[in-house]
Amino acid sequence: MVRRNAFPRVCVALGLATAKELLQHARQEALAGERFLEFRLDYLENPEQGIAAMRRVLTEYPDVVALATCRRQQSHGLFAGGIEEQLRILQAAVKAGAAAVDIEIETAERARAALGAFNKDCLLVISYHNFSSTPAMEALLRRMTKHPASAYKIVVTARKPSDLHRLLAIARTCTDVPMILLSMDAIGFPSRVVSCIYGGLYTYAAPQSVEGTASGQVTAKTLRNLYRIEKLGRATKLFGVIADPVGHSISPAVHNRAFQSQRIDAVYLPFLVHAPHLKDFLLTAEKLPVSGFSVTIPHKEKILRHLDVVDPLARRIGAVNTVWRKAGKWRGTNTDAAAVTGPLSKHLRLGKSSVLVAGSGGAARAACFALADAGARLSITGRNAIRVRALAAACGAEALSLSEVETRRFDAVVHATPVGMYPRAGESLFPGSIPADLVFDMVYNPLETELLRRARNEKKLTIHGLEMFLAQAAEQFQIWTGTSAPRGVMETAARDALGIQKSNAGRTDK
């Protein structure tokens, strides 16, 4: 069996159109400290030139482990030649110093006799690629392991969350077979980070400044710095966020940095979960297992019916944004609620204040029930009169139209619609006068919305959406870990992720 440490944990896949670019990017990666590089010879018109580039890199960086690949077009590669020519190129790559070669199963099955020499002279990885689905794993592995090799690479496409578990579980049931297990695209993305926890030998990364060779690849820097891939092990706890889409979420940046700063052995992943796959995700999360997760659009309301225990406030709100597993049960709460009343109560005695909430969606509901519980005199406005009236009736508030609001004054306004959010940053729900002296905008991208900019110019108190985001994330961290959250670390991570300078760092702008 191949030694687990024969392969470093991260392999940077280099698929470039010319040998000159291949050399340039291989050098750039080696200079950045990467020690495992895949040379995709099939991307080149003349693969021999790629071998020459690889030889030069190995001369300059003798501790680099080179993996040579010359995948045929018939097996999803770019090499147009026949099998004999493919094998001859790979043999030349081994002579030039490649420590490993990747030969796809389709070639392996047709050239069994040639595999012995590769097994003698280098590490042989037999690979399988499926760009449309995740097939039955046991049958696939039986097919692949008919051919002796150092390792077996299975790259599939996840169509739903349970595909991810089926892929990773095979490493736990077949512990004696060295495997590389990856799922492409956004649903399968977590496999790129955590397959090593389940027994996968290594994962692939994209180069720093050009596209990777497969969908879903991120750079080695992201794998190392954001997900701390070198530190993940069997004891690592999994957390994440479920959403659709999920790619824009800043929660992985914030929670991973928080875990890291507190030396908590945990990783936080983006889980793309389409609306019909929510139950499938929960069953998968139980098996992986996932210890807890954030919930956002479009799952905040629908998740309730799948949970075993929901706290009374979240049930009244009708939305859950935080889930965790305890004593075999899924539990849910809503940390958005306290993330509205917390920042507001630093400036107002809520029990003696009038507050206008603008919007009637999930975030507005959380704000309304929390503010009503805190004793605020509550008014609600929004574009959807039916939803506004229903919410007002549910939490004992007054319902107002947007035009009625223009003649009224409140101690505070809480804006809970996406108006003014990137990319439509110049818009505001209150184009005329702002009806309160304290303005809380839930939108945090941009940090200073048009509403807050105008409020600040009018010398009003302002609270930006990042403060709410950080408050709800800090409470999630506390629920999941039992320790208080590193607020400063989380704020820096959020600002980094949003590309916001620290200069206007005051959480509440006066």
Q: Which residues are catalytic?
A: 129, 153, 300, 336
Task: Quote the least distance from Cβ 343 to ligand NAP, whole Å.
Answer: 10
Stretch of 67-75, 138-146, 213-221, 379-387 lying at the interface with ligand NAP (CB under 6 A): 379-387
Bridge partner list, 206? 219
Reading the block at residue 486, the tokens are 């590193």
Instruction: Select the residue interacting with ligand NAP from 472, 485, 486, 491 (CB under 6 A).
Output: 472
Neighbours of 276 (CB within 10 A): 8
Instruction: Select the residue interacting with ligand NAP from 133, 225, 384, 478 (CB under 6 A).
Output: 384
Q: Which of 330, 333, 349 is nearest to 341 (CA)?
A: 349
DSSP state of 123: E
Please tell me whether residue 359 binds ligand NAP under the rule CB under 6 A: yes
C-alpha 309/C-alpha 245 separation (Å) is: 26
Instruction: Select the residue interacting with ligand NAP from 16, 51, 468, 493 (CB under 6 A).
Output: 468
Task: Quote the least distance from Cβ 429 to ligand NAP, whole Å.
Answer: 6
Stretch of 116-124, 211-219, 344-352, 464-472 lying at the interface with ligand NAP (CB under 6 A): 464-472
321-340 positions binding ligand NAP, by CB under 6 A: 336
Reading the block at residue 20, the tokens are 């000159």
71-110 positions binding ligand NAP, by CB under 6 A: none
DSSP state of 273: -
Q: Tell the residue number behind the tokens 């990783």, with chain if given.
A: 267
Instruction: Select the residue interacting with ligand NAP from 53, 66, 442, 463 (CB under 6 A).
Output: 442
C-alpha 419/C-alpha 412 separation (Å) is: 18
Q: Please tell me whether residue 485 adopts helix, strand or coil conformation.
A: coil
Please tell me whether residue 216 binds ligand NAP under the rule CB under 6 A: no
Please tell me whether residue 465 binds ligand NAP under the rule CB under 6 A: yes
Task: Quote the least distance from Cβ 369 to ligand NAP, whole Å.
Answer: 13
Reading the block at residue 474, the tokens are 């800090």
Q: Please tell me whether residue 398 adopts helix, strand or coil conformation.
A: strand
C-alpha 303/C-alpha 352 separation (Å) is: 35
Stretch of 57-65, 155-163, 347-355, 356-364 lying at the interface with ligand NAP (CB under 6 A): 356-364
Task: Quote the least distance from Cβ 20 to ligand NAP, whole Å.
Answer: 45
Bridge partner list, 324? 292, 331
Please tell me whether residue 382 binds ligand NAP under the rule CB under 6 A: yes
Instruction: Select the residue interacting with ligand NAP from 65, 290, 443, 463 (CB under 6 A).
Output: 443
DSSP state of 486: -
C-alpha 413/C-alpha 418 separation (Å) is: 15
Bridge partner list, 124? 101
Nearest to ligand NAP by Cβ — which residue? Answer: 361
C-alpha 427/C-alpha 420 separation (Å) is: 5
Task: Quote the least distance from Cβ 331 to ligand NAP, whole Å.
Answer: 20
Check: CB of residue 94 under 8 Å from CB of residue 68: yes
Task: Quote the least distance from Cβ 432 to ligand NAP, whole Å.
Answer: 15
Instruction: Select the residue interacting with ligand NAP from 56, 76, 306, 383 (CB under 6 A).
Output: 383
Q: How many residues bind ligand NAP (CB under 6 A)?
A: 24
C-alpha 309/C-alpha 329 separation (Å) is: 7
Cα Rg of the chain (Å, integer): 27
C-alpha 251/C-alpha 499 separation (Å) is: 14
Stretch of 270-278, 310-318, 437-445, 499-507 lying at the interface with ligand NAP (CB under 6 A): 437-445
**Which of 54/250 has CB closer to ligand NAP?**
250
Please tell me whether residue 361 binds ligand NAP under the rule CB under 6 A: yes
Stretch of 14-22, 154-162, 304-312, 376-384 lying at the interface with ligand NAP (CB under 6 A): 376-384
Which residues lie below 8 Å from residue 211, measured CB to CB, with a gap of 6+?
A: none
Task: Quote the least distance from Cβ 428 to ligand NAP, whole Å.
Answer: 10
Give me the 403-422 binding string for ligand NAP, x by CB under 6 A, dash otherwise: -------------xxxx-x-
Please tell me whether residue 232 binds ligand NAP under the rule CB under 6 A: no
Which residues lie below 8 Å from residue 287, measured CB to CB, with a gap of 6+?
A: 165, 169
Listing DSSP states for 42-97 in one string gives GGSSSHHHHHHHHHHHHHH-TTPEEEEE--BGGGTSSB-S-HHHHHHHHHHHHHTT
Phi, psi angles (nearest 5°) of residue 313: -65, -45
Please tell me whether residue 364 binds ligand NAP under the rule CB under 6 A: yes
Please tell me whether residue 451 binds ligand NAP under the rule CB under 6 A: no
Please tell me whether residue 363 binds ligand NAP under the rule CB under 6 A: yes
Please tell me whether residue 444 binds ligand NAP under the rule CB under 6 A: yes
Stretch of 138-146, 176-184, 256-264, 439-447 lying at the interface with ligand NAP (CB under 6 A): 439-447
- Interface with ligand NAP by CB under 6 A: which residues? 336, 359-364, 382-384, 387, 416-419, 421, 429, 442-444, 465, 468-469, 472
